[in-house]
Structure 1
């Protein structure tokens, strides 16, 4: 990753993440109510991940703080970051999150998007502890929760015969990509093999992806580009160049991926997703561009710049519908080489 690209925004991202993880309301709970006892405040139900509008956004704002802590330890907010994360990453808080997930009807809670971000967070804590031993206490506190999510992947993936290609939280390629990071980080070979096998079964034979069908009106992920980024890591039986040659949309369709999209109303939580789409397109293009044909290099680099220009200013400035989560994707897009 390239910290230099993030540096001009690091303090702003840090302020946004700190504010978000401590903001309990407005809140969008996403769980089944098993009884009246579940009618409790977010902070009671989720003593660790109660802020940032919803559970998954709170998870990835914690990830953002960990990444900023590791990459920019001299930021003026870092003392507060240490204090905040110390208060959040406790064994008691993690135990409460696990207890919530183990209640009836919650086997599918946050599958796969929140699962993926939880494993991405734990990957950051594991890597961070290698550089700063103080992070090991957070890593160790969080490991039982990561273990539970890892087990759920191992149970779920063999049952999932078809991928979800939508550009929203259910997207299968996104869920596998971050789980793959975790599996490789801890050398969980069984999980890694399952992810690779499932990705190739789902996406390995795709032909002439219909990129002109994207985006749908509330996409924050590009189904096709997420797939292309995942296959860069797992393609089997051929080179990535060969896979791309068959997968690549026809020129008219491909042009849809090169043009930034416009969010019509950034106070609308669904329409605000489109700023996220611009950021995730830039992130995905950066991942795959070194492996693309020479003729695509210039258009893709121009597209990356255009997508960042369109939505980076809105990652931390504007309505809470976007600012409760966009900084995480802005970090991904900027930090990716």
Structure 2
């Protein structure tokens, strides 16, 4: 049984606290409209300027919020509260909104960063409901970030009807992954309009997929399985027996399915693209746990695959090059703390 224990939670929290205030190196997603836009990331993004890039900074904040919620006595509790006070306040969020309002930035961080920002906002709402953490200022942080969450919620609402085709990449553009994160947020913040739109778009994009070619995965810089993310999303928008029918049509051949059951090899953890494959191993765990009870793959086969993927990549989450450590803890937390529906038996990850 592999679980997130207090010592590991503390180690991940220390890593996240260090990362979100690490300004360099930084990889910008930045449209330059003129010379006045040649500014440092901290000027452009007063809330999310560290951790190598904007979206990683967002989901490392989510990691801290998740750890604080699951471990109210976390030794880094006060340091996390101080960091959130500094980063998630009315002024810093106003700066983020000002950045979004500039011409040509409608697609900034679409869709990956959009999904993660909504998930962070939802986690802060959940944190306000927890005894022992609300007193730290969770309500204040949740209220501060709410206008930014509304902005990205509205961008989803505006964008999805225009998107005739999904992005099936194994990287940041993946449509299914972002919609899964957005659905998680909708479940907390009660957004029926976005929920209904995601359900409809998932059916339009993926409802007729047949015999998914899993043997084509992974590509060399994937941190997501496009096929497993799709299967996980459909498990959230298709009910019961209907999902079983969808799965049978979508299901890869046995030989191709084996690709999803064996961990990807990570040959170079210094290379910032190749090390994405550690994230792939962790996100596969997250997906398998979502769909395990609804597929015809034997439970013991899935459990062995989950254990193998975790054994391959968990030891590398918090050690090594910044190209990996600036983001992998978030994917470890997805693997270890989600979803709420557990696997049965001794290999359950609770």
Q: Does the alignment reach a TM-score above 0.5?
A: yes
| Shift, 1:78, TM fit | 1.1
Seen in structure 2, the aligned counterparts of structure 1 residues 331 and 322 have a Cα distance that, compared at 3 Å, is same
Q: 1:239 is paired with a residue of what secondary structure? A: helix
| Shift, 1:35, TM fit | 0.9
| Shift, 1:127, TM fit | 1.1
Seen in structure 2, the aligned counterparts of structure 1 residues 199 and 212 have a Cα distance that, compared at 3 Å, is same
Inter-partner Cα distance in structure 1 for 2:55 and 2:82: 22
Inter-partner Cα distance in structure 2 for 1:206 and 1:59: 32
Give the match for residue 329 of structure 1. 331
Give the match for residue 59 of structure 1. 58
Could you tell which deviates more after superposition, 13-22 or 240-249? Answer: 240-249
Inter-partner Cα distance in structure 2 for 1:196 and 1:236: 11
Q: TM-score, normalised by structure 2?
A: 0.93
The match for 1:139 among 138, 142, 146 is 142
Seen in structure 2, the aligned counterparts of structure 1 residues 238 and 206 have a Cα distance that, compared at 3 Å, is farther
Give the match for residue 287 of structure 1. 290
Q: Structure 1 unaligned segments of length 5 or more: list them.
A: none
Give the match for residue 94 of structure 2. 95
Give the match for residue 124 of structure 2. 125
| Shift, 1:105, TM fit | 1.1
Q: Deviations over 1:123-182 (max 9, x none)?
A: 101111122433110010000000000110010000000000010000000111111122
Inter-partner Cα distance in structure 1 for 2:299 and 2:213: 20
| Shift, 1:239, TM fit | 2.1
Whether the aligned pair in 2 keeps the contact of 1:113 and 1:171 (CA below 8 Å) is yes
| Shift, 1:238, TM fit | 5.4
Q: How does 1:195-214 map to 2 (within 5 A)?
A: 195-214=198-217
Q: TM-score, normalised by structure 1?
A: 0.96
Could you tell which deviates more after superposition, 214-223 or 130-139? Answer: 130-139
Q: How does 1:130-279 map to 2 (within 5 A)?
A: 130-131=129-130, 132-133=133-134, 134-235=137-238, 239-279=242-282
Q: Structure 2 unaligned segments of length 5 or more: list them.
A: 343-350
| Shift, 1:184, TM fit | 2.4
Does 2:88 correspond to 1:85? no
Give the match for residue 14 of structure 1. 13
Q: 2:4 is paired with a residue of what secondary structure? A: helix
Give the match for residue 311 of structure 2. 309
Q: 2:150 is paired with a residue of what secondary structure? A: helix
What's the RMSD between the two structures over aligned residues?
1.5
Q: 1:5 is paired with a residue of what secondary structure? A: coil
Could you tell which deviates more after superposition, 185-194 or 151-160? Answer: 185-194
Q: State the 4+ residue runs in structure 1 displaced beyond 6 angstroms.
A: none
Number of residues of Structure 1 aligned to a counterpart in Structure 2: 335
